[in-house]
């Protein structure tokens, strides 16, 4: 019993650390927070934030807000609640990939100034998410939760599978903490369970559940692989880019089934 209580206590502390790291949600400071392995629970944080956004969306719907305006507002709150952390990484990554000389790409990505390609990437991501959400007429809370969960699972997979390109940086400690299937398998099972909710609620929705699982895992896997192909590895910025592009592409796929 004592070991079980300690396990639950540690899980709560780890989740609190992950929420503090990846969002602006205020939590009381706890000295026992260990930020070393926060990425392991990033998909759980994504699901939590997705539920929050779903509740916010439902409230706006109850108040009579139009679909397009509601979707745009949800995306704005989405960026705000995550502190723009991943969007900033996607912008820096776009600026780096725009450089013709592969040897200069990391140097450009470190530069805090946003270039034209970074701005275009941000506009494209916000536009895709807003339009896709507008087209999703039902199960919007599930779409948000699954998108944020699978996007962050893709980040965890990228950390495990690919080399980190810099000796230091804002993502280096993730690589040191996440090394094996034990770090990504539990959250994969969580996301498969979440994605299976349509068939639990309606037995005729087997196809929808299957598409959510296949699309979520395939997009998360391939987006990380694409950035690795372009750069030969990953950085903290590309981890953010994996999250953002996985979320946007996943929502676009969901418009075909909801």
Average pLDDT over residues 221-242: 95
- Percent of the chain past pLDDT 70, that is, above it, reads 95
pLDDT tens string 155-211: 999 999 999 988 777 677 888 888 788 889 999 999 999 998 887 667 777 888 888
Of the CA atoms within 13 Å of residue 187, those in its CB half-sphere come to 30
Q: What is the rounded CA–CA span in Å between residue 141 and residue 169?
A: 34
- Residue 30 pLDDT: 66
In the predicted model, what is the mean pLDDT of the chain? 90
pLDDT tens string 107-142: 888 877 788 999 999 999 999 999 999 999 888 999
| Cβ atoms within 10 Å of 33's Cβ, excluding its own | 16
Q: What is the DSSP letter of 170?
A: T
237: CB partners within 8 A, 6+ apart:
88, 89, 90, 92, 93, 96, 109, 171
- Residue 200 pLDDT: 67
Phi, psi of 91 (to 5 degrees): -65, -45
Residue 234, strand partner residues: 164
Q: What is the DSSP letter of 131?
A: H
Whether this prediction's pTM lies above 0.75 is answered by: yes
- Residue 218 pLDDT: 97
Three-state secondary structure call for residue 150: helix
Predicted confidence (pLDDT) at residue 1 exceeds the cutoff of 60:
no
75: CB partners within 8 A, 6+ apart:
126, 129, 130, 133
Domain residue ranges of the chain, discontinuous segments joined by +: 44-254
């Amino acid at each position: 019993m004592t070991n079980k209580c300690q396990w639950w206590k540690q899980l709560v502390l780890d989740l609190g650390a992950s929420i503090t790291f990846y969002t602006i949600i205020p939590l009381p400071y706890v000295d026992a927070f260990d930020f070393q392995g926060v990425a392991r629970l990033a998909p759980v944080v994504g699901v939590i934030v997705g539920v929050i956004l779903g509740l916010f969306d439902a409230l706006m719907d109850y108040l009579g807000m139009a679909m397009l305006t509601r979707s745009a507002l949800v995306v704005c709150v989405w960026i705000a609640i995550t502190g723009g952390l991943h969007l900033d990484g996607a912008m820096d990554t776009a600026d780096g990939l725009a450089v013709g000389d592969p040897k200069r790409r990391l140097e450009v990505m470190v530069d805090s100034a946003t270039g034209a390609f970074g701005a275009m990437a941000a506009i494209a991501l916000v536009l895709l998410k807003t339009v896709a959400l507008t087209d999703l007429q039902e199960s919007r809370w599930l779409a948000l939760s699954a998108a944020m969960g699978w996007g962050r699972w893709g980040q965890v997979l990228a950390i495990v599978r690919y080399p980190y390109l810099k000796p230091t940086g804002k993502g280096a400690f993730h690589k040191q903490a996440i090394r094996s299937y034990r770090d990504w398998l539990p959250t994969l099972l969580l996301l498969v369970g979440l994605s299976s909710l349509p068939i639990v609620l309606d037995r005729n929705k087997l196809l929808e559940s299957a598409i959510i699982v296949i699309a979520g895992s395939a997009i998360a896997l391939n987006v990380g692989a694409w950035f690795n192909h372009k750069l030969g590895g990953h950085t903290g910025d590309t981890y953010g880019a994996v999250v953002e592009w996985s979320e946007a592409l996943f929502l676009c796929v969901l418009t075909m089934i909801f």
